[in-house]
Amino acid sequence: MTDLSPPQSTATGGAELADHPAYQQVQEQRAERRELRVADAITAFAGSMTFVYIHVIFFAAWIIALGYLLKGDPYPFGLLTLVVSLEAIFLSTFVMIGQNRAADLAAAKAQHDFEVQQALLEKNTDLTVQIHQLTSEIHHRLGATASSPPPD
């Protein structure tokens, strides 16, 4: 089966996107539905050079065999045009499914990142309040010590 894992991200210092919890969640959801697994596999194959090579060979064979030797689909190759058009319709659908996958991933990642940032903001706010309270307490104790008479 084709490896659908994303490439390493250089923006995160070499950490893989596959390690992100949102990516794992989206992958688990997609793995549960057979039609999405099939669409992912087709999209991965259609985006490969193997797909291109197969089509070059197929089209060349079609044009030579049916277009010129057997005269089954003479120029301007109406049947070939129909086949290619139908294939383009289906492939564009799979591309849109792939784009939906990317959008799902981006939304899940954004939500996860937002939740992490909110938790960090809350923690930072709590720490700032604690620092302020400790600083006030230190100032209060130092102020009380400074205003008392020096020992004899």
**For the segment 38-83, what is each residue's pLDDT rounded down to a tens digit?**
988 999 999 999 999 999 999 999 999 988 898 888 888 999 999 9
Looking at residue 87, its pLDDT comes to 95
* Of 97, 102, 85, the residue nearest 42 (C-alpha): 97
Looking at residue 15, its pLDDT comes to 59
Is the pLDDT at 14 greater than 90? The verdict is no
User: How many beta carbons lie within 10 A of that of residue 39, not counting itself?
Assistant: 20
Which of the pair, 104 or 117, is modelled with greater confidence?
Answer: 117
Give the whole-angstrom CA distance, residue 123 versus residue 117.
10
Give the whole-angstrom CA distance, residue 58 versus residue 62.
6
So where are the chain's domains?
19-144
Looking at residue 45, its pLDDT comes to 94
Averaged pLDDT of the chain: 85
Give the CA angle between residues 9, 37, 22 to the nearest 5°. 40
- Per-residue pLDDT band for 7 (boundaries 50, 70, 90) equals very low
pTM above 0.85, yes or no: no
Give the whole-angstrom CA distance, residue 123 versus residue 144.
31
